[in-house]
Each structure stands twice: as structure tokens, then as C-alpha cells.
Structure 1
């Protein structure tokens, strides 16, 4: 399913905002939040909760060293995006006026290799060529931290990370045999493993839990907006949080909806792929957060900092004001 076709499916659901505050959502065309955004529009959860969600799908490539969605938020062309909280901390520490106001989920990927690969786990990564979107990608940072913590080596030094620059490029590099494996994002993993001679060597979500030392499911990705939008549009922010909750409930219970999503939004409209993405999404998503959740996120960050170092992470602290659990009145 190409980007234009997916956007057309969303455009068919875009109604008149009327006097409602508009929330401009800009999300990657191959990212999993689009399933939730589509559900909000399909069932009208945005208008039910007092705001108008305007969804546009964008590239997953980098602009000036940051992902396209980040660039759009920082440049004032978007009000809502999602990225991992390590990247959010990095950008906020460098002066970007962005805040995380709601969790999304444990949005990490997995290492995909050929079926006959000798890579089974972290200990097998030495001397391998491994595709990553960029070396500051969360999947690579978590893998480096886990290798250092549990196996006493750094794959950034004892393997060869190859920066590809996009998720589409990762899959192409794997198909072309340019790398021994790729750290692909979780919604795309089934598209590869269910349709070709490939398998997932390990999911990075396992590393998240091992490194955090907790059984609580920690959100890695959060929804972001600008400080100005957060302060000036509390109705839209509160409305989105409620609409998100309804969409999550719908996606957890409605298998037929996932079939529709497969028809409208998925690149591989294969029943096995749809089921794998559906089950992966339900396992990944996080409903809400509280101080305990944020404390767990702090602990995971501190662990990554201790193990991988500030240079690998790209930031040495979580800036004040990064997480906004309470919406202003």
C-alpha cells in the first residue's frame, strides 16, 4: 500500500472541523501509530472529545539529522508526533521546545536475519554487518547497552553498524545481502518474516525489560507537542488523550477492524502479516502513565547512560519539563 493510497483512506475520513481546535498529526507512513489515528477518525472519537484531528503521513527519512516528524514539529508544521523518549530528551536538551504528554508504547524493533543465519542472540553479533537507521536509533542504543551489560562487549566496536537512513532502506539492504541483519521497526518485521526467507533473531523489547529490571511494560515512544500548543490548547490535548483511550480499546477488541486496516493501510495485505501486526500492537501499546511509569523510564535511561554512555545516547540527562503528566486547565 503506497503512501498516497493510505493518505486517501485517511482523507476520506476527514470531516469539517467546524469551531473545534485542530490538532495537526504528522506521522510516518510506515509507523504503527497510523492504525490508532485511523481508528480515531473512522469512529469520530476526535469530535466526540472536542477536537479535530488532522492526519498527514510523511517520510521516515532524516532531515538535518532528525526524523522528518521531529523536523515538522520543531518547524511549526505539526502539533502531534511520536518519537522515543531518548530522542525527545536529546532534542529538548539541545533547546527544542517540545514536551511528551502521553505514552504510546514499547515501540522498539527486532533484529531480522536470514533463515540460515548463525545469529541467534546478542552474543553472536561480533564481526557482523548490521543495518540500523542511524547509530542513535533506540534499537541500536539498547542493543549496545545489553551487549555491554550481559556479554562484556560493545557491538559498535566489535561489529560494523551500517547507517541506512530509513526503514525502507533497511529492508532493501537485507534483501540485497548488503548486511547480515537489520534492526527493523516492529510493525515491519512481520512484513519481512511472514513473506520471505527471514526470521527475527530477537525482539528488542526483551532487552528493554532486562535492562529496566521491572516487569512493568515501559513506554519507549511518547506523543509530543510543542510547549506553546500544550499550554494554549488544553481542550485538544485532553481530548486526544480520551480519544486515544477509546481507540486502544477498539483496536484491542475488534479483529474485523484490523482486517479493514490491512486493506487500507498495510503494505503487505496478507492475513498472516495482519494477525502478527495486530497481536504485536496489542502487546506493545501502553494505556496511560503515572509517576511510577516515569520513574521506570528514568531508571532505564540511567541504566543506558551507565552502560552505553552519553556519547552513544546523545544526551546525558532527561531535561526538566520533558514529561507532562498533567494538562493545564
Structure 2
């Protein structure tokens, strides 16, 4: 045990010696919903000092949810949050200097009970579908587009939807109150561990629509002024995020350490959540902006102004570009 502690200390020291040469270590004030899956990564970054290894300090405060985080970021009360790039696109179009650094491309799927006779979306015609979020949830819009363009019917018209918070949709699905459920990926993993099966993954539906499933939907969103004040900070944040995922993928003890915050009820649930989290790791390199533009066009077509405002084209500078 003493040897392992010494080895860990030596590794951290080695990493610190390669940290970017900022004039002084920037403190990145980060607002996160600590009950969410992003905290698995943020806590890993801070516990193993992966922020310091990359020349900055991540200071995390808990926040109630996405709207509160977005308001705090715009007001300058924090430097970084986690959100989706469609919101960043809207804000940049409105003149706000925000930059998206990929964090996850994890998406769920439409799930049904193990004994369900459904083999395709069309089999849910006239049935009740639970959807986490609202009618402009991105995964729901992709499912609607798939139904229209691949199976030839309007899922929104020919099924009954129940929209609600992820835990409520999770419970409704397990209790049999809905015939199908589209939930956030982590609740989907719990549902699968409980015996439900995936009827159609969002990733497969997106691919059938000509979208790139590698396009990350969720990322760290940083105020541009902070990145400009500390050149190289964007790369440092991206490297710390990647290093945390590598640690969780390669060291079983790293996931065991955060198991209490995952609130799992079984080993099967634990393994499903681990697999889902790691499967969402974005590929390295720059985001394919042409692929993102195709997704934006689809979201604008189906979600309208409620989702993307008046945005019809991808604003420049949304995505962090490696080397910038």
C-alpha cells in the first residue's frame, strides 16, 4: 500500500512537471449539478489532481439545474458549466462569447419492456410513450425525424406522449405505465439493468438520418474572455477531461471510488452505468462542424424557434479547436 501511494505521488508529480506554463494557475469557477453524471468526471479530475496536472484549478459549486447554470455563466458569476452546443450556438448568435469543449456524446434509446411485442417504432402507434424532458428534447426530435423519414409516419401524432423529469419517466417505464420510454442515457442504463430492452438507440436513428453519431451533444461551456485571458486553457480543460475518462476506463478502483455517488442498487446497474459513461467518450480532435450544421438544420426543422430561436446557420467559433 505504501508503495502504491508513493507511485501515485510520483505520477502526479511527473504530470505536474508537464503542466502548461500559465503566468499563474487559473482558477476555473465551475457550476455543476453535483447529482448528475458530470460529477463523476469532475470529482475524478479533482481527486487525482488532473486539473493541476494541466495547469489550472477546477473550483466546483453545486447548482440546481441547467437554467440556473446558464444564467450564472452569462452573468459572469462562474467561468464554466456543462450544457449542449445548441444552446451555445443560440448564445453566440446573440453576441455572447461562449465556447464549447466536448465532454460527452452519450445518448439513450427508446426502450420497451422485455415482454413487449414491439420490433419497430411503428409498433408503438396508438401506444403511450414516456419522454424525459419536453417536446423539444433533442433525442425525441431525432426519434420523430426517424419515424417520419424512415418508417413513414408521425410519431408525435400517432402515439400519446407523457413528458416528465427523468426519474418520473424511469418509474413509469418500470411500473408499466407507458409502453415505451425515451430517457437520458444514465436512466436508460438503469432501465436496461432492470430488464428493459432497447427498441431503437438514438445513435442508430441519428445515423439513419445522415447525422454523425460522433458529434458530441454535451460539453464544458467556457466564457471566451476566460480562454482569451489564459491562452492554452481550452486545451488544458480538454486534456483534463480526457485524462479523467482514461483513468476511469483503465483503473477499476477509480470507478469503485465514485460508486457511492452513482447511487446504484445492483452490480448490474453499476456495470451498465460504467459502460454507458465510457461509451460516450468523444473522439479526440476537432468537432466536425459540417456534421453539426446538419444536426442544427434538423433541430431547426422540428424544434423551431423554441429550440434554436431564429438560428438557421452554425455561428463561427462555437467549438473549441485543438491548438487554438
Same fold (TM over 0.5): yes
Report the alpha carbon displacement of residue 243 of structure 1 after superposing the two structures with TM. Answer: 1.3
Q: Distance in 2 between matches of 1:125 and 1:244?
A: 39
Report the alpha carbon displacement of residue 150 of structure 1 after superposing the two structures with TM. Answer: 0.5
Report the alpha carbon displacement of residue 41 of structure 1 after superposing the two structures with TM. Answer: 0.9
SS at match of 1:24: strand
Listed as ranges, the matches of 1:1-329 within 5 Å are: 20-60=25-65, 67-93=67-93, 95=94, 97=96, 99-132=98-131, 133-164=133-164, 166-175=165-174, 177-195=176-194, 197-212=195-210, 217-263=214-260, 265-290=261-286, 293-305=288-300, 308=302, 310=304, 313-315=307-309, 316-325=312-321
Asked whether the equivalents of residues 103 and 287 of structure 1 are also in contact (C-alpha less than 8 Å), the reply is no
Asked whether the equivalents of residues 50 and 235 of structure 1 are also in contact (C-alpha less than 8 Å), the reply is no
Q: Distance in 1 between matches of 2:137 and 2:53?
A: 36
Asked whether the equivalents of residues 103 and 289 of structure 1 are also in contact (C-alpha less than 8 Å), the reply is no
Q: Distance in 1 between matches of 2:35 and 2:181?
A: 16
Report the alpha carbon displacement of residue 185 of structure 1 after superposing the two structures with TM. Answer: 1.0
Question: Gaps (5+ residues) in structure 2?
Answer: 1-23
Asked whether the equivalents of residues 108 and 138 of structure 1 are also in contact (C-alpha less than 8 Å), the reply is no
Report the alpha carbon displacement of residue 34 of structure 1 after superposing the two structures with TM. Answer: 1.9
Q: Distance in 1 between matches of 2:124 and 2:169?
A: 17
Structure 1 runs of 4+ with >4 Å offset: 175-178, 303-306
Report the alpha carbon displacement of residue 53 of structure 1 after superposing the two structures with TM. Answer: 0.6
Q: Distance in 2 between matches of 1:218 and 1:239?
A: 21
Q: Distance in 2 between matches of 1:324 and 1:110?
A: 28
Cα distance change, pair 303–269 in 1 and its aligned pair in 2 (3 A): same
TM-score of the two chains, using structure 2 as the length reference: 0.80
Tell me what 1:16 maps to: none
Superposed CA offset, 1:78-123 (max 9, x none)? 3222222233324444x37253332122222222333333333322
Q: Distance in 1 between matches of 2:116 and 2:72?
A: 39
Give aligned pairs, total. 298
Please say which structure displays the higher CA radius of gyration.
Answer: 2
Cα distance change, pair 191–68 in 1 and its aligned pair in 2 (3 A): farther
CA RMSD in angstroms comes to: 2.8
Cα distance change, pair 252–199 in 1 and its aligned pair in 2 (3 A): same
Q: Distance in 2 between matches of 1:147 and 1:90?
A: 27
Q: Distance in 2 between matches of 1:180 and 1:91?
A: 37
Superposed CA offset, 1:233-281 (max 9, x none)? 4354332122122212212212221122213x21215222222222222
Q: Distance in 1 between matches of 2:100 and 2:46?
A: 21
SS at match of 2:237: helix
TM-score of the two chains, using structure 1 as the length reference: 0.79
Report the alpha carbon displacement of residue 309 of structure 1 after superposing the two structures with TM. Answer: 6.2
Q: Distance in 1 between matches of 2:97 and 2:154?
A: 32
Q: Distance in 2 between matches of 1:24 and 1:294?
A: 28
Report the alpha carbon displacement of residue 143 of structure 1 after superposing the two structures with TM. Answer: 0.9
Judge which range, 109-118 or 241-250, deviates more.
109-118
Asked whether the equivalents of residues 189 and 276 of structure 2 are also in contact (C-alpha less than 8 Å), the reply is no
Q: Distance in 1 between matches of 2:81 and 2:252?
A: 26
Asked whether the equivalents of residues 286 and 322 of structure 2 are also in contact (C-alpha less than 8 Å), the reply is no
Report the alpha carbon displacement of residue 184 of structure 1 after superposing the two structures with TM. Answer: 1.0
